[in-house]
Structure 1
């Protein structure tokens, strides 16, 4: 009971912090006046700008589909011009909130990172935040959730424990394999890692390296999302070749890991975890 109260306090504090951070949305950069007679009505434009600010505040929410993602990306790109620090803090806080509490939808935030911060800064940011957020989930599980996770997922934890013990001599390599080819969801691996005695150093490094291809694909998707204005642009030969190159780069590490895993890892008994993967 004490662990549930502690977890509730952490979740409540994090939620209030994120909520109040969104309330301090700074004044946006001045928009360029539209050509034509509308540009003459300066006072009217100022009043419209203030009403737009309140409307933009209501748009600060986690995206649930591609259209909401595009709108949020445009809004944050607009604010990033003069309030880079605020946008960075807001994005990092929202990302860590999702990762720490194992809330689905981090792929949307990876795409958003590419749309807002570009291919290189976005990829670095996504990898760092994924790793830090997953580690925070590890620590929260270690502090508050061990008993409950074992009771809720006894078979999954038992199967993962067996595979970890079978591959204890090459544990880091096994963790990389799980990230490249998830036989169990990433959120479950984050929460159950301290229960099956995976060292936090191995866990931290395996998340950063193992999710790099996935983050790379999402960030590059976000970059293209911010550049295309229609479906014709998306399905042009240039974009299709770019997508092919991205897929090849992202799949190469996984192919190497799979080839090496046939020699080093003990993965013969996979029915429990594979069945779990199919059921997700």
Structure 2
């Protein structure tokens, strides 16, 4: 739960007072990190364009639709054969920065990776990018902007933290389940997990396995990009059944574990009474 008093601020009810320096740091650190990340990616893209006569910096654009993915795939296909490692690093870096700074479009990067490098390699790259990026977001939210968020909406976050606290001992399964559920903003999950103080190891494991099914479906679609005409084509009955099976198995595991814990607690109480 939120502390009564910490070195990062003072609490009054659900409100935490944050010093001006902490507010400045909460803004500057993410902004500087974002600028540095973009600078590194831009420098890498320039090095790619310099070594390819048929490429220019203007040929690259962030994919926002299936059509953009197809065009970018065609543009980068020739360079992939000449320097696959550099191109792989660049596309992976773009996907990672997107996850780290809550930039929409992660699905399109997964499709592009699948189209460029095949399902197996792209799956590993997508999982690594999402886990690394979302973990950086989690750490930034927990240690940089957490108290600023609490000072703005402490009451709502305290209620959420109380709900999360009910799953103590099952944090890994809890993170896994909310990662699997469709329609939940994944960037918000990272921030809320950080603010509610879910430990980093359960967060990492839950995020790793929770994102695998979605990436498996997207890179599989990217590998046959020419056969995909809309995003809905990715989710055939096999893909939907696969994701639903993961959700059901995770939910059942949580229910069984909770039932076993409650039964064990009840048995201990009976022994104390007797």
Residue in structure 2 matched with residue 135 of structure 1 by the alignment: 135
Alignment partner for residue 21 of structure 1, among 16, 25, 44?
A: 44
Residue in structure 2 matched with residue 3 of structure 1 by the alignment: 26
Q: Deviations over 1:204-223 (max 9, x none)?
A: 11111011111111111111
Residue in structure 2 matched with residue 250 of structure 1 by the alignment: 243
State the alpha-carbon separation in 1 of the partners of residues 142 and 253 from structure 2.
31
State the alpha-carbon separation in 2 of the partners of residues 19 and 245 from structure 1.
39
Call closer, same or farther: CA 1:111–1:157 in 2, change over 3 Å.
farther
8 Å Cα contact 1:149-1:192 kept in structure 2? no
Q: How far off is 1:117 after superposition?
A: 1.3
Residue in structure 2 matched with residue 69 of structure 1 by the alignment: 69
Q: 3-state DSSP class of the match of 2:198?
A: coil
8 Å Cα contact 1:123-1:215 kept in structure 2? yes
Structure 1 gap segments, 5+ residues each = 29-49, 235-239, 267-280
Call closer, same or farther: CA 1:115–1:257 in 2, change over 3 Å.
same
Under a length normalisation based on structure 2, what TM-score does the superposition of the two structures give? 0.76
8 Å Cα contact 1:176-1:207 kept in structure 2? yes
State the alpha-carbon separation in 2 of the partners of residues 14 and 70 from structure 1.
25
State the alpha-carbon separation in 1 of the partners of residues 42 and 183 from structure 2.
35
State the alpha-carbon separation in 1 of the partners of residues 155 and 104 from structure 2.
22
8 Å Cα contact 1:115-1:223 kept in structure 2? yes
Q: How far off is 1:70 after superposition?
A: 0.6
1:153-232 matched pairs, under 5 angstroms: 153-154=153-154, 157-181=157-181, 184-225=184-225, 227-228=226-227
Q: How far off is 1:263 after superposition?
A: 4.3
| In the alignment, structure 1 residue 116 sits paired with structure 2 residue 99 | no
Q: Deviations over 1:228-278 (max 9, x none)?
A: 3x86xx9xxxxx899433333333212212333444469xxxxxxxxxxxx
Under a length normalisation based on structure 1, what TM-score does the superposition of the two structures give? 0.74
1:140-155 matched pairs, under 5 angstroms: 140-154=140-154
Call closer, same or farther: CA 1:148–1:183 in 2, change over 3 Å.
farther
Call closer, same or farther: CA 1:99–1:144 in 2, change over 3 Å.
same
Q: How far off is 1:65 after superposition?
A: 1.2
State the alpha-carbon separation in 2 of the partners of residues 66 and 94 from structure 1.
17
State the alpha-carbon separation in 2 of the partners of residues 153 and 95 from structure 1.
30
Residue in structure 1 matched with residue 35 of structure 2 by the alignment: 12
Q: How far off is 1:64 after superposition?
A: 1.1
Structure 1 vs Structure 2 CA RMSD: 2.6
State the alpha-carbon separation in 1 of the partners of residues 234 and 222 from structure 2.
16
Structure 2 gap segments, 5+ residues each = 1-23, 260-274
Call closer, same or farther: CA 1:166–1:124 in 2, change over 3 Å.
same
Q: How far off is 1:167 after superposition?
A: 0.7
Residue in structure 1 matched with residue 55 of structure 2 by the alignment: 53
